[in-house]
Amino acid sequence: MTDIIKGDGAVRRQGLYGSSIENTYAGVLSFMRRNYSRDLSGADVVVSGIPLDLSTTFRSGARMGPQAIRAASVQLAELKPFPWGFDPFDDLAVIDYGDCWFDAHNPLTIKPAIIEHARHILASGAKMLTFGGDHFVTYPLLIAHAEKYGKPLALLHFDAHCDTWQDDEPDSLNHGTMFYKAVKEGLIDPAKSVQVGIRTWNDDFMGMNVLDAPWVHDNGVDATIARIKEVIGDHPVYLTFDIDCLDPSAAPGTGTPVPGGLTSAQALKIVRNLGDLNIVGMDVVEVAPAYDQSEVTAIAAAHLACDMLCLMRNKKVAGTL
């Protein structure tokens, strides 16, 4: 019988499956203590970070998001995740690839660097779970995913902001215009896409199906889940979760907080019920720990990311990953 690893499974575990016994307050801080590795062989899902916040329009700091989410995941690696009741890593092979490297002092090279980072991982056949960084990172990730899975993709977008403000400059770095460009470039189909939690105005939402925060509050989580599934169906969908979708009371540690958002309970229930969707890629972005209180934002982000992995585990067990 193989001895159970006690401590630092992220660097001591030989295979990609199973969990280790860790002190939550110590050890190597990979996401949920997964192996730190650049070997993509056999990986079902690859976790990586993109520590970029040069695209922000208000408070910077999201470059520290990947580290904060990893650190906040220690409790999730201790017990079977709630409400799932299983260890996802008994069945799902997940590695932490570390962070995408880019030259922050040469901004025009950042977008191509992120695209190549994603292309390399996707070429292995693995799915990606990516931590931002600001929300701009989703744009180059969409480019790589659309190349892999065919365009246009559907977009399931949780956010306070629609991020479809006009921007026709091809080289701009702006975390509020990515999905304007994605629609214009045919990366996503707005008729098959859903935006959840929106509470900022745009004169042109570009045909997106918007379930704004008041709609979610008035109609409830079950109606929100049903509408998401109705719109997206079985279309390949990229899931992006901007943590400012949550109300600032639940996620103060973000660059552009807006009152009136979703509670963490609402968001978690929605994400936990997305297993019927054909999810081809996932990210959690805009965690800015410098503005956080008692790490509540990073903790919420880590739990959302864990639930995304549990969705992928169920898909693998069902043979639909």
Q: For residue 32, give both structure tokens.
A: 């949920």
Q: Which residues sit in the known binding site for Mn(2+)? A: 135, 159, 161, 163, 242, 244
Q: In this predicted structure, what is the pLDDT of residue 2?
A: 58
Q: Based on C-alpha coordinates, what's the Rg of the chain?
A: 18
Res. 171: pLDDT tops 70: yes
Residue 317, class by beta-carbon neighbours within 10 Å (0-12 exposed, 13-18 middle, 19+ buried)? middle
Containing H/E element for 196? strand 194-196
Tell me if 193 sits within 8 A of 154, measured CB to CB: yes
Dump pLDDT digits (tens) for 110-132: 999 999 999 999 999 999 999 99
Q: Which amino acids are annotated as binding site, given as ranges? A: 135, 159, 161, 163, 242, 244
**DSSP string covering 11-52, please?**
HH--SSSS--B--TTSS---GGGPEE-S--TT-SEEEEEE--
pLDDT digits (tens, 9 = 90+) for 176-230: 999 999 999 999 999 999 999 999 999 999 999 999 999 999 999 999 999 999 9
DSSP-based three-state secondary structure for 186 = coil
Cα gap 245→268, rounded to integer Å: 12
CATH entry, 7-316, from 2.70.70.10, 3.40.800.10, 3.40.1280.10, 3.50.50.60? 3.40.800.10
Backbone angles phi, psi at 268, to 5 degrees: -65, -40
Q: What is the pTM of this model?
A: 0.96
- So where are the chain's domains? 7-316
